[in-house]
Structure 1
Amino acid sequence: MSTPDRLIESTRELLWERGYVGTSPKAILERAGAGQGSMYHHFKGKPDLALAAIRRTAEELLAAAEGVLAGPGTPYERIEAYLRRERDVLRGCPIGRLTMDPDVIASDDLRAPVDETLDRIRERIAAIVEEGKEQGQFAASLDGEEIAATVLATVQGGYVLARASGSPAVFDTGVRGLLSLLAPPSGVAPQAS
C-alpha cells in the first residue's frame, strides 16, 4: 500500500474510533507507519487528509448499500437485504458517527460527503419504495421519501441504541419492527422484479 493510501486508511480508522479532534497528525503517522512530514508531502494538512478519508469511507458505504439495493428480489426483499446486511453494529456507522462530530459538521467541506452519502442512499430507497407501490407490493398511501427517511433513521438510531446497550439485539429488534410495518398485507404475494 502506498504512503498516501496508508495515511488515508489510518485516518479513516481514527476518525471512526476517535472523531476529528481525537485524530491527531501524530496518531495518523504512527498508525500509518509513515515518517514525520509525509502527511504534508501528500496532503495540505489534516483537513485535506480527513476529507480524503471521509470520501473513501463514503464511496465504500455507497457501494455496499448499492450492492444490496440493486440486487435481486422484490422491492421489499431489497430493502430487507439492506436492513439486514452484515454490519459491525456496536462500532456504529463510519459515516453516521461523523454527524455527531462538531468539527466535521462545522466544516462545509468535511460535512458534504457525509450529507451526499446519506442523501444518495435515501434517494435510492425512496425509488425502491415507489417501485414497490407500482407493483402493488407496498400500500399506495406510502410516501417513498418518508419511508426512506424511516429506514435510515432505523439504521442510524439502531446503531446508537445498540452502542448504548452494548448489544446488537436492539438494532435487530428495530429492523424487525420496521420490516413488519413494511411487509405486504396477508394474502398479497409480492411480485418479483
Structure 2
Amino acid sequence: METAERLIRSTQELLWERGYVGTSPKAIQRAADAGQGSMYHHFSGKAELAKAAIERSADELRTAAEEQFAGPGPATDRIAAYLRRDRDALKGCRMGRLTADPDVMADPVLRAPVAETFGWLRGRLAEIIAEGKESGEYPDSLDPERTAATIAAVLQGGYVLARADGSTEPFDLAITGLVDLLENVTTDLPLEGVAK
C-alpha cells in the first residue's frame, strides 16, 4: 500500500477512535508507518489529511449502503437489509461520531462531507420510501422525507444508546423496533403482488 493510502487509512481509524484533537500528526505517522517528510510530501498538514480521510469514510459509507439500497425486493426489505447489516455498534458510526467532535463541526471544510453524507442518506432513504408508495407497499399518507429522517435518527441514536450502555442490546432493540414499524405500515395495506 502506498504511503498516501496508509496515511488516509490510519487517519480514518484515528478520527473514529480519538476524534480530531486526539489525532496528532505523530500518531498518524506512527499508525501509517510513515515519516514526517512523507506525510507533508502528500498532504499540507493534518487538516488536509483529515479532510481526505473524512471524504474516504463518506464514500465507503455510501458504497456500503448502496449495496442494500440497490438490491432486489420491496422497499421495506431493502431498508431492513441496510439497518441490519453487520456493524460495530459499540464503536459507533464513523460519520456520526464526527458530529460530536467540536473541532470538526467548527470547520466548514471538515463538516461539509459529514453533512453531505447524512443528506445523501436521508435523500436515498426517501427515494426508496417513495418507490414503496408508488408500488402500493406503503400508504399515500406516509411522508418519505420525514420517514427517512426518522430512520437516520433512530440508527444514529441506536449507536449512542449502545455506547452509553456498553452493550449492543439497545442498538439491536432500536433497529428491530424500527423494522417492526416499517413492516406494520406495510402489513396494514391490502397488498397485491408485493412480497413481504
Q: Same fold by TM (over 0.5)?
A: yes
Q: What is the TM-score normalised by the length of structure 2?
A: 0.95
1:33 equivalent to 2:14? Answer no
Secondary structure at 1:30's aligned position in 2? Answer: helix
Alignment gaps of 5+ in structure 2? none
Distance in 2 separating the partners of 1:165 and 1:72:
35
Aligned equivalent of 1:191, options 178, 191, 194? 194
Write out aligned runs for 1:73-84 (5 A): 73-84=73-84
Q: TM-score, normalised by structure 1?
A: 0.96
How much has 1:151 moved relative to structure 2? Answer: 0.7
What fraction of aligned residue pairs are identical, expressed as a percent? Answer: 60
3-state SS, counterpart of residue 92 of structure 1: coil
Match of 2:19 in 1: 19
Number of residue pairs matched?
A: 192
Q: Give the superposition deviation at 1:187.
A: 6.9
Greater Cα offset, 161-170 or 178-187:
178-187
Q: Counterpart amino acid of 1:21?
A: V
C-alpha distance in 2 between matches for 1:134 and 1:10: 44
2:187 aligns to what SS in structure 1? coil
Contact 2:6 2:32 in 1 (8 A): yes
Residue identity matched to 1:35 = G
Distance in 1 between the 2:2 and 2:50 partners?
A: 17
Structure 2 contact 137–189 (Cα < 8 Å) conserved: no
Aligned-pair CA distance for 1:139 = 1.8
1:113-128 equivalent positions in 2, closer than 5 A: 113-128=113-128
**Greater shift in the superposed pair: 154-163 or 177-186:** 177-186
> What are the superposed Cα offsets for residues 97-151 of structure 1, whole Å, 9 maximum, x if unpaired?
0011000000110011111111111101001111111111112111100110011
Which ranges of structure 1 fall in alignment gaps of 5 or more residues?
A: none
**8 Å contact from structure 2 (residues 126, 148) kept in 1:** yes
CA deviations over 1:63-100 (Å, ceiling 9, x no partner): 00111011111011001111111111111000110011
Q: Tell me, in whole angstroms, the C-alpha distance in 1 between the residues paired with 2:48 and 2:57.
A: 14
Matches of residues 132-151 of structure 1 in structure 2 within 5 Å? Answer: 132-151=132-151
2: CA distance, partners of 1:41 / 1:104: 23
Q: Give the CA deviation at 1:46.
A: 0.3
Partner of 1:52: 52
1:181 corresponds to? 181
User: Secondary structure of the residue that 1:37 maps to in structure 2?
Assistant: helix
DSSP-derived class of the 1:71 partner: coil
Measure the CA separation in 2 of the matches of 1:96 and 1:43: 25
Tell me how far 1:186 sits from its aligned partner.
4.8
Counterpart amino acid of 1:73? G
The letter for the 1-side match of 2:132 is: G
